[in-house]
């Protein structure tokens, strides 16, 4: 069982930058592929970004490309989501999720079912 804890969410203004962090309760996150998802009020949870265990591959939703960067510091057992040029439509609860190494993860990383463990989320609110 992996317990994930997100942090870094807050109220921001349009154009600001935020860095979200995802840490594991035990030093195990380096063994997992990690994704970030977000869920706005009344909307479904959607994919934002994902990173492979070693960090060599990164994937982004179209809404995140060019503005967000996912990275990981395996020595710190933490995955980050750097969000720049924030927009009001980025307002959501942001969740990190972890998936053990599976051969088909690369085909399903955009889907919530590809992940076994989820954090409780951190609120990001962007005002215009």
The Cβ of residue 34 has, within 10 Å, a number of other Cβ atoms equal to: 28
**Cβ–Cβ under 8 Å, residues 45 and 60:** no
pLDDT score of 75: 83
pLDDT tens digits, one per residue of 4-41: 999 999 999 999 999 999 998 876 888 899 999 999 99
pLDDT, tens digit, 9 for 90 and up, residues 50-61: 999 989 999 999
Residue 51: closest CA among 5, 109, 102, 107: 109
Mean of the per-residue pLDDT values for the chain? 94
| C-beta neighbour count of 78 within 10 angstroms | 19
């Amino acid at each position: 069982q992996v317990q994930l804890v997100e942090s870094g969410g807050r109220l921001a203004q349009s154009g600001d930058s935020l860095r979200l962090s995802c840490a594991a309760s035990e030093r195990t996150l380096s063994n997992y592929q990690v994704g970030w998802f977000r869920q706005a009020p009344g909307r479904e949870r959607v994919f934002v970004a994902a990173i492979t265990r070693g960090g060599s591959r990164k994937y982004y939703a179209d809404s995140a490309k060019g503005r967000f960067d996912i990275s990981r510091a395996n020595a710190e057992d933490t995955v980050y989501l750097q969000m720049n040029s924030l927009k009001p439509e980025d307002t959501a609860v942001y969740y990190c999720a972890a998936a053990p190494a599976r051969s088909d993860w690369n085909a399903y990383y955009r889907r919530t079912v590809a992940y076994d463990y989820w954090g409780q989320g951190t609120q990001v609110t962007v005002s215009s």
